[in-house]
Amino acid sequence: MGSERAPVPLTPAVFHILFALAGGDKHGYEIAKQVTEDSQGRVNMGTGTLYGSIKRMLADALIEEAGQRPAPELDDERRRYYRLTEQGHRALRAELARFARVVTIARSRDLLAQV
Amino acid sequence: MNRRGERRQRIRAQRMYRLLVRLYPAAHRRAFGQQMVQAFGDHYSDAVQCRGGSRLTFWLAVLADTATSLLAEHASEVRARGRVAVNTLRRRRNGGTGDSSYRRAEPRRGGATAMRGIAVGQGIGTSRRVRVRRRLRYGRHASRKARVVIRARHHRLVYRGRLSALAVTVVLAAVALGVGSATAHLGITALVTGPLVAFWLGYRVRLTGPVPAGPGGDGLAPPGGAGVREPRRPLPMSPAGAAARSQLDDDPPGQAVAVIRYR
């Protein structure tokens, strides 16, 4: 069973997967595509990295397999869909809050104007 | 290329990727192998067939990703096995102190998995006692199955390690050399990769002499050589045998009395 509190800060791969799954249930390759889209092509998650991260996130109970899936005629039955757990939502919110704090501090120091 | 050709190409690529998936730890492969191959197929048809990307670039990216994730997965597997071994030792120690509540709380399957984890690490199908005995006699890696690479008349070149580890090394070397050649730094890559592979092979490959008969070897022969053979003993019915045989001293007293009566 996963730990009660998700580790913060999250690794980039875990953060991107959580961020991708925040939009809804997705299967493996959809997650990878969403990650590439969210990062504007800067992050290309390979299959090995993706499923390694999924394994650890399942163990930490950040995500789980989704029970609902598209109709069999619309999709391959062998695909597995994943969704965020409550703990995953909490971890993502905590990470986004951390980013927001960093951005606030950067603004107060006028660091963003230089970027 | 027509649709059928594309499909065939995709299946071929998936077949090649399936070989790479075989290098992952068994548990990971069982849980995610099929999904990985499927996701790879989607990625391949998307990147190469739909967007017309370079196949070489695609495969280089796949190999680099596979190499890094293989390292991560095997490292986490080793860490998990270490934890299992430590827990088993702790459990045994607690068992000695009579902490029966703890032992009862442990699921039986966990114990079986723990033992299987150790068995996988130390050579499947060998009893623990035999493994420990071999380890004490021949060293740390002796409990693993040795595979003969080259067999000469008096010597054998033996690989003492896992085939998956060998395959990982080969893949990593190939990836390094591929990346080196793609980035025009083949010389430097070969200089780095060569000694690493040589060191690893030196660690795992051994030149051995003939092995004595018997499960653990009979040890050194006694001095003299002829002393190995047992001396010839006289036959029981020959005169020498009769002389050598002790008769009355060993026979029960009642039997001798019975013989006299019948006469």
- Position B117 pLDDT exceeds 50: no
Q: How confident is the model at residue A96, as a pLDDT?
A: 95
Residues of A in contact with B57 (CB under 8 A): none
Interaxial angle between packed helices A86-108 and A12-21, expressed in degrees from 0 to 180 and rounded to the nearest 10 = 110
Give the mean model confidence (pLDDT) for residues B55-81.
92
pLDDT bin (cut points 50, 70, 90) of residue B115 is very low
pLDDT bin (cut points 50, 70, 90) of residue A59 is very high
pLDDT bin (cut points 50, 70, 90) of residue B146 is confident
d(CA B168, CA B72): 12
* Location of structure tokens 């019948």: B262
Which residue among B31, B43, B72 places its CB closest to the CB of A47?
Answer: B43
Q: How confident is the model at residue B221, as a pLDDT?
A: 53
Q: How many residues does chain A have?
A: 115
Six token digits for residue B37? 């191959």
Q: Mutate which of A33, A47, A77, A82 to test chain B, going by most B C-beta atoms within 10 A?
A: A47
Give the mean model confidence (pLDDT) for residues A89-102.
94
**Closest chain B residue by Cα to residue A53:** B69
CB B10 within 8 A of CB B50: no
pLDDT bin (cut points 50, 70, 90) of residue B145 is low
Residues of A in contact with B38 (CB under 8 A): 28-29, 76, 78-79
Give the mean model confidence (pLDDT) for residues B55-82.
92
Per residue in B11-53, pLDDT (tens digit) is 999 999 999 999 999 999 999 999 999 999 999 999 888 888 8
pLDDT bin (cut points 50, 70, 90) of residue A51 is very high
For residues B54 and B230, which has the higher predicted lDDT (pLDDT)? B54
pLDDT bin (cut points 50, 70, 90) of residue B85 is confident
The phi, psi pair for B162, rounded to 5°, reads -90, 145
Residues of B in contact with A66 (CB under 8 A): none
Q: Mutate which of B17, B43, B59 to test chain A, going by most A C-beta atoms within 10 A?
A: B43
pLDDT bin (cut points 50, 70, 90) of residue A63 is very high
Distance from the B182 Cα atom to the nearest Cα atom in chain A, whole angstroms:
19
Which residue among A27, A55, A79 places its CB closest to the CB of B31?
Answer: A55
Residues of B in contact with A56 (CB under 8 A): 76
ipTM over 0.90: no
pLDDT bin (cut points 50, 70, 90) of residue B213 is low
- Position A86 pLDDT exceeds 80: yes
Closest Cα to residue B62, out of A39, A54, A32? Answer: A32
Six token digits for residue B191? 């200089």
For residues B249 and B3, which has the higher predicted lDDT (pLDDT)? B3
Residues of A in contact with B31 (CB under 8 A): 55
Of the given ranges (A95-104, B63-72, B139-148), which has the lowest mean pLDDT? B139-148
**Residue B55 CA to its chain's centroid (Å):** 36
For residues A107 and A74, which has the higher predicted lDDT (pLDDT)? A107
- Position B123 pLDDT exceeds 50: no
For residues B89 and B220, which has the higher predicted lDDT (pLDDT)? B89
